[in-house]
Amino acid sequence: MRLKTEIKTKEKIPRDGLHKDQPLKIGIVVAEWYWDEITSKMLDSALTTAAEKNVQVEVVKVPGSWEIAFGTKQLLMRKDIAGVVTLGAVVEGDTDHDKLITYTVGNKIIDLSCEYNKPVTLGITGPKMSFRQAVKRVDKGKEAMLACVELLQK
């Protein structure tokens, strides 16, 4: 399922690979796992920050954090997307599954950032994080958006 959200902008931010008269457009890949309690709030904080920075946004929802790398690659392949913000929460369970997911996805999104020469910022919380800790870290959406915008303005 894809949800597209556009935020209009007046400010032009120069960056390589895109026309300087085009507004900055950042993709957000957000996991739907823990949607009601966590990731929807992460997305809200990222969207609010994007609006404050006059950035256009396209949102792609994926089932869980494991699928974030796939959604990220789909956005990075597009010429109109300058960078990608990733949002998800990986909560500790009875096994080391949380470590596997965060390590693998983190490595893959770094590889994708280098491959496409576009910033991909990490707003995925975990591993070794309780559900309560995850709820307290919903501002990672804002932090990841700010980092992406800053990298694109340098």
As annotated, the active-site residues are: 97
CA torsion 106→6→16→153, rounded to 10°?
-80
Helix runs in the chain, H state only: 40-52, 68-76, 97-116, 131-136, 140-153
- Tokens representing 63 are 């089932």
Residue indicated by tokens 């949380």: 98
Number of other CB atoms surrounding residue 154 within 10 Å? 6
